[in-house]
A and B are shown apart, each in its own frame.
Chain A
């Protein structure tokens, strides 16, 4: 399931409204265009994004195409805390790596081998190296 596209698709207010409109049943592209005072091409573009994300499905009926809400990706969005959990695990890992790194040896570390040596101040921070996530 392309969850990336689910969140990206939901980021747009018009697309969220389209989804809400489809909760009551399938609608044709033309009906959707009428509801949102948008040009047909603009609506088609939004529908394409939603379809690509697997949020809606398309059904040809005669000369028209109807759009249905697809349930599965939305269920995934309902479970929207899951990404946060992954996020925090990665942050905690980053904190551990940082705190345990040799460069981070604050004076209060307790296990400082030589008391006479000047304790490295917090300026002695490890330069960011392995920050793969720009968060």
Chain B
């Protein structure tokens, strides 16, 4: 099981369930170490005191906050004492229908697992899973993890409790601060665009989408290990803005109806042939495969 990131209890009414928080996402990215290019020795990071110009051990490092030019030192114990209950307890404040929550508020998904294996804990945990599933509700609560308070939604999934951290309303930028514009589309344009959306509509199946970048990176690393030289591809052309929206829409529709990929350039028949067996960066495989499956 993944390493717990927080432990405490989930509390609703007078029922307390001891729980641990584990991430519901695993990191599959390739990570690179910093090396000295000349001799491949790992680069070391050291912390130096800017005044004494000597290396400082972790134990000697404190948190400082700049309060109008004055540095205030704060210890972990003092931070824990700010709102002690919140650092140990997720207090459920309400139950809501998750469909009502705008997904823009969702931040990071976790699982909540029972802490310990006492009979009472496991039963209370099971009770909450069953109740949330049956009532089709999510529990809204808050807690503090690593010096930050989170609003969270707890729901039942796969016979377990998941917890999603959420943004507070004032952390979401208001739409009025973002400029949008453009002319209102004509009816014909809109009809065509809607037809394209409908042509491309498919059932959502997450397994149809693979991380192609990760796959390509894996191939590059493998090839490098075998001491092959890597061909650096030429820059792909940026897509140009369409001079005639209507024409672009009609061409796209035509090609979709003929069963072609509308993303391939039309005037260059030679290029089209080549890209068939060479995976280009932009052509994701997901949509095409899901269409074929239907």
Q: Do A and B bind each other?
A: no
Which residues of B come within 8 Å of A, CB atoms? none
